[in-house]
Amino acid sequence: MDGLHRQGVESAQVFDQARTSLDAVQARVRSLREQAQAAQAALALAQAGAEQVAARRAALQGEVVSPGQAIVTLMNPDDLWVRADVEETYVDRIHLGDVFTVRLPSGLRRPGVVFYRRMDADFATQRDVSRTKRDIRTFEIRLRCDNRDRSLAVGMTAYVSLPIGK
């Protein structure tokens, strides 16, 4: 088209339409290449984390998903942690690195090391009606536990023994 336009065979309008179509096709090709690269990177990541397990599937076969939308959540079973909400009455006794006993529903016990303590309180979970009639707020803590035996599972209930004495 460029040559025909220079020779005066094609009008400027036809040439502009052809150039616009070419630009659109080139942009589409670039977009598809980027999507292919993203898919290859995702595949490489999935293959590198082959020890990880699918913890949650957000889309089923046959469902339509948008580009970039998560379809599965991967988790490493060796790197699970336990979350506990601690009443504000006790949170000042908990520090990073503290070791507490974590009890699973089966009765199995194991040590858990505090690696996270939320700095701000969450909404009140209880009302203290016996003493000062105030809301009791909670702070989230997280404890890392050894899970080589795969006893911990995502969403499992666990009980954390906290120091409530001196």
Looking at the structure of the chain, the number of domains it has is: 2
Q: State the virtual CA torsion across 92, 96, 100, 103 in degrees, nearest 10.
A: 100
Q: Are residues 44 and 87 in the same domain?
A: no
Q: Which residues sit opposite 139 in a β-bridge?
A: 86
- Asked if the structure places residue 60 within a domain, the reply is no
Is the pLDDT assigned to residue 54 strictly greater than 70? no
The answer to whether position 16 is within a domain reads yes
- Strands in 109-117's sheet, in edge-to-edge order, are 81-87, 138-145, 109-117, 99-103, 159-161
90 and 154 housed in the same domain: yes
Query: Which 8-state DSSP code applies to residue 41?
Result: H
Q: Are 127 and 140 in contact (CB under 8 A)?
A: no
Is 68 within a domain?
no
C-alpha 14: how far from its chain's center?
51
pLDDT score recorded for residue 113: 95
**9-13, 17-21, 152-156: least confident range:** 9-13
**Lowest-pLDDT range of 7-21, 93-107, 125-139:** 125-139
Examine residue 147 and state whether it is found in any structural domain, yes or no: yes
| Structural domain span for residue 42 | 1-49
CATH number for the domain that contains residue 120:
2.40.30
> What does the DSSP 8-state code read for residue 79?
G
Rounded distance between C-alpha atoms, residue 122 and residue 91, angstroms: 12
The sign of the CA dihedral 156, 95, 52, 36 is positive
pLDDT for the residue numbered 128: 57
pLDDT in tens, 120-136: 777 666 555 566 666 77
12 within domain boundaries = yes
Instruction: Identify the band that residue 44 occupies on the pLDDT scale cut at 50, 70 and 90.
Output: confident
- Per-residue pLDDT at 33: 92
Do 85 and 155 sit in the same domain of this protein? yes
Q: 86 with 155, same domain?
A: yes
Whole-model pTM over 0.75:
no
Q: How far apart are CA 97 and CA 163, in angstroms?
A: 14
Neighbours of 67 (CB within 10 A): 8
In Å, the largest CA–CA distance within the chain is 95
Residue 64 within a domain: no
Q: How far apart are CA 58 and CA 92, in angstroms?
A: 38
- The residue assigned the tokens 């016990």 is 109
